[in-house]
Amino acid sequence: MTDAGDAFAKAEEAELTRRRTADGERAAPAAGGGPQGPQGRASRDDDSVVSPLADSDERVIESALRPKRLEDFVGQARVREQLSLLLRSALRRGRPPDHVLLSGPPGLGKTTIAMIIAAELGAPLRITSGPAIERSGDLAAVLSTLQEGEVVFIDEIHRLARPAEEMLYLAMEDFRVDIVVGKGPGATAIPLDIAPFTLVGATTRAGLLPAPLRDRFGFTAHLDFYQPEELSVIVHRSAGLLGVRIEDAGIGELAQRSRGTPRIANRLLRRVRDYAEVRADGLVTREITRTALELYEVDEMGLDRLDRAVLDALIRRFGGGPVGLSTLAVAVGEEAETVEVVAEPFLVRHGLLARTPRGRVATRAGWEHLGLTPPAITEVPTLFD
Ligand code: ADP
């Protein structure tokens, strides 16, 4: 362990304790349910070792692993280059850069990029999120106290309340907010100038953003899943920071099975390290990685329990589809949004599931991944069917 200090060690310990407790609590029901059944699944936030969502203890650990500068940010080469141009030209002009919208599945580096933008600009950063801003007054409080050039990061920006969203339009375009004083017919709007700032919005669901909001971002970038080679670089770096002894073959295996997601790669690295420390001499080899990941129910492609539950329900209960998202979500006992945002992008990316206008359909590869033979004709209906 290096410079990350006490907070980091405490968070690690808290995380381990919580996981141990959670494992103990789950032992009984899990034994009764099918190995891949949705029954007995607790909330995905803390249940799954491969959930791309972070919980609160993990955020502390993550902050120690986060690259601080653009040059340390691995992968997403095009986005990195575009951002670098945006930031350099802003610095040259001495003006805040355009507002930035980042979209993509959870755990791919949106928050990290927001922090890097502030660091590269040498500007302070305010972090908030759509759900945290309940009323437009909450947003006015943030915007009206900004310093010139500050970076404001709004995570899950698609979940902003409507009045806050409208306030944001004006703020983004004219650096102005209208503060409403009074109620009913006597209410008046007092315009207030605010300091020029850069908004960085992040969303897992770009399609839900209203067009007027989307149009106000001068720069939009979509983050895609990482290639195993890129994840290898990330795991190598994280292992160095955490002081984990890991062989190259172990790194390769981990990178292959991390769902293309740095957050998952970092988390699996810590779980595999635990395994290596308790069951072996601490050195993470390919064999240790394989056995540990089996224990955590991560398969060779990186699919976790939810991914498999979705695929399993689609194929075994609905004959491979087409089936609607909400029906599928009920079948696996999850929120439709979780299935759509967390499980599906990866399944689609790997060609195991297709989204069609008539519903979700399992592909031939999807059937085969579960060791099943697809029916004679498993054609994915197209838009023109
Ligand atoms: P998001 O905001 O998209 O959910 P984060 O920015 O919080 O994702 O990233 C999750 C974790 O993954 C961070 O702790 C960070 O260390 C790591 N990470 C993400 N992207 C990269 C990257 N390109 N290079 C190195 N680490 C990364």
Report the CATH number at residue 101.
3.40.50.300
Which pLDDT score, from 0 to 100, does residue 56 have? Answer: 66
Out of 234, 242, 263, mutate this one to test ligand 1's pocket (max ligand atoms within 8 Å of CB): namely 263
Centre of ligand 1 from the C-alpha of residue 37, in Å: 30
The whole domain housing 332 covers 305-369
Do residues 86 and 192 both lie within one domain? Answer: yes
Do residues 80 and 177 both lie within one domain? Answer: yes
Whether 263 lines ligand 1, by a CB cut-off of 6 Å, is yes
**58 in any annotated domain:** yes
CA 322 to chain centre: 27
How many helices and strands (H and E) does the chain possess? 17, 9
Do residues 188 and 81 both lie within one domain? Answer: yes
Radius of gyration of the chain (CA): 23
> What is residue 245's three-state secondary structure?
coil
Ranges in the chain, pLDDT < 70? 1-51, 54-57, 377-385
**382 in any annotated domain:** no
**34 in any annotated domain:** no
**381 in any annotated domain:** no
| CA distance readout (Å), 277 to 2, 36, 272, 288 | 18, 28, 9, 10
| CB-based burial, 279-316: b 16+ in 10 Å, e otherwise | eeeeebbbebbbebbeebebeebbbbbbbbbbbbbbbe
Which pLDDT score, from 0 to 100, does residue 285 have? Answer: 93
Q: Which of 222, 237, 254 is the last residue of a domain?
A: 222
Catalytic choice (41, 111, 271, 378) = 111
Which pLDDT score, from 0 to 100, does residue 321 have? Answer: 80
**113 close to 80: Cβ distance less than 8 angstroms:** no
Centre of ligand 1 from the C-alpha of residue 218, in Å: 23
Do residues 273 and 246 both lie within one domain? Answer: yes
Report the CATH number at residue 353.
1.10.10.10
Whether 234 lines ligand 1, by a CB cut-off of 6 Å, is yes
**258 close to 268: Cβ distance less than 8 angstroms:** yes
pLDDT in tens, 262-290: 999 999 999 999 999 998 898 999 999 99
Whether 338 lines ligand 1, by a CB cut-off of 6 Å, is no
| Interatomic CA distance for residues 327 and 313, integer angstroms | 10
Do residues 106 and 189 both lie within one domain? Answer: yes
Do residues 127 and 202 both lie within one domain? Answer: yes
Whether 106 lines ligand 1, by a CB cut-off of 6 Å, is yes
Helix (H) or strand (E) holding 201: strand 198-203
Tell me which residue has tokens 């779980």: 271
For residue 236, give the amino acid letter: H
Catalytic choice (41, 44, 110, 216) = 110
Centre of ligand 1 from the C-alpha of residue 174, in Å: 32
| Interatomic CA distance for residues 126 and 137, integer angstroms | 16
| Interatomic CA distance for residues 157 and 148, integer angstroms | 22
Shortest-distance Cα residue to atom 12 of ligand 1: 263
Centre of ligand 1 from the C-alpha of residue 276, in Å: 24
Q: How many domains would you assign to the chain? A: 3
Catalytic choice (155, 304, 307, 312) = 155
Which pLDDT score, from 0 to 100, does residue 58 have? Answer: 72
Report the CATH number at residue 241.
1.10.8.60
Q: Which of 199, 222, 245 is the last residue of a domain?
A: 222
Do residues 214 and 144 both lie within one domain? Answer: yes
Do residues 269 and 142 both lie within one domain? Answer: no
Do residues 246 and 277 both lie within one domain? Answer: yes
Do residues 50 and 88 both lie within one domain? Answer: no
Which pLDDT score, from 0 to 100, does residue 380 have? Answer: 56
